[in-house]
Copies of this chain bind each other. A is one copy, B any other.
């Protein structure tokens, strides 16, 4: 990679005279400028001397929080110039983060065309195809010649990317797609309908962004058209937005599975972290209390056979581990769209068999451990049976909990873990201590 250090960028920004600075993006990518300036004391001075189109490009690389920080360094007139240079989907995402007052203030700064685009885009749910698409794309009529299309491409500078050209009829129904390569490889007089590929795959504006990213991944697309109910083309989604969404969505999943609010950043503030984690710790505490109440229920038995307390944590803990394995496989399968009606029963059956089989193996070990603490075969048997039962329940809960949560529209990544480990703790203690109480006369 062409290495251009932060210091070098800052030097460039500071020393370049006005003329040079307009060429700046020949030397350095806006994403690198963003990285270099963001945490500096003199960000205000540095930003002031950059041309507004470059500021627009830098803002497009930033996350919403930084976007707003950068924008604050400018007057209303400058803000207007910057926002109008940005692509409509980025302006929409930025404005969408603000409260109503600031929202309408910024919308007021937009020129007519951008404002109309943004107001339309604001109507779509932010996590759907409509919410992530841009309205700046090139659509061409199928009866045009290549010569006139080339003229059109040269005149249109707004479109985000021009490699794929979407073909529409006069009512803007999506008809096909041609690549710029097709265009340059044919005669000037060829009509688009002769070279277009009619097999164009599109998404509906209402489709969830996670599903959209599966479509991108399945087909390996770089760009995809978005249509309305009547197959009118209304926007395009670019793969760079999909990359960002995939990173965000998986971070959200991974964090939620560990009981962390999705928005916590690794180097964020202490109060943000406490706010994001404490609620889940308290929920966990309540479920831990439940498990502890089960133990208290059997305190008489424990007071007679103290070794129970050493073995019971193994049985509940191992159940929790097995449940987490099943649960993780299911949650990831759900978010990759790999679980459907067709294979659901087969997967459940598999998990049950795996739970019984691994439970059997672990059960033998646990029996051996139990007999080491208390030299009594029956004690070992009680431990083994409790272990197998708990692993079976872990498999069923690890499968059923995320599936049910998904059905009732709760994110399985968010809540499954707490439910499943509560099951395995409570049932683990209950099976083991309960069986031990029954077998007590012979222990």
Enumerate chain A interface residues (CB-CB to B < 8 A): 1-2, 25-29, 31, 61, 150, 153-154, 161-163, 179-181, 183-185, 197-204, 207, 213, 215-222, 238-240, 242-244, 246-247, 250-251, 253-255, 257-260, 264-270, 273-274, 277-278, 280-282, 284-285, 288-289, 291-293, 295-296, 299, 302-303, 306-307, 309-314, 316-318, 321-322, 324-325, 327-333, 336, 338-339, 343, 346-347, 350-351, 353-354, 357-358, 361-362, 365-366, 369, 373, 425
Contact = CB atoms under 8 A, between A and B. Distances in A.
Nearest to A330: B266
Contact of A321 (B270, B281, B302, B303): B281
Nearest to A286: B365
A329 B221 contact: no
A429 to B, nearest CB: 8
A251 B336 contact: yes
A362 B285 contact: yes
Given A310-B299, A328-B257, A328-B258, A318 B288 contact: yes
A354 B274 contact: yes
Contacts of A240: 217, 220-222, 239
Given A26-B198, A258-B324, A328-B258, A358 B281 contact: yes
A1 B322 contact: no
A355 to B, nearest CB: 10
Contacts of A31: 218-220
A283 to B, nearest CB: 10
Contacts of A163: 161, 163, 180-181
Nearest to A256: B328
Contacts of A183: 184
Given A181-B180, A295-B313, A254 B251 contact: no
Contacts of A244: 217
B362 A153 contact: no
B292 A314 contact: yes
Contact of A333 (B222, B266, B322, B354): B266
A325 B259 contact: yes
A289 B215 CA distance: 46
Contacts of A293: 310
B243 A150 contact: no
A222 to B, nearest CB: 5
A296 B373 contact: yes
A208 to B, nearest CB: 13
A266 B329 CA distance: 6
Given A222-B239, A270-B354, A330-B266, A199 B25 contact: yes
A309 B301 CA distance: 12
A151 to B, nearest CB: 10
Contacts of A26: 197-199
Contact of A303 (B2, B197, B303, B330): B303
A299 B295 contact: no
B330 A260 contact: no
A419 to B, nearest CB: 14
30 contacts: A1-B203, A2-B202, A27-B199, A162-B181, A217-B240, A217-B244, A220-B238, A222-B222, A222-B240, A239-B240, A239-B243, A247-B336, A255-B332, A264-B329, A266-B339, A273-B350, A274-B354, A274-B357, A281-B318, A281-B361, A292-B311, A295-B313, A296-B310, A296-B373, A299-B309, A302-B306, A302-B309, A309-B312, A313-B313, A313-B316
Contacts of A307: 296, 299
A269 B346 CA distance: 10
B217 A247 contact: yes
Contacts of A242: 243
B153 A184 contact: yes
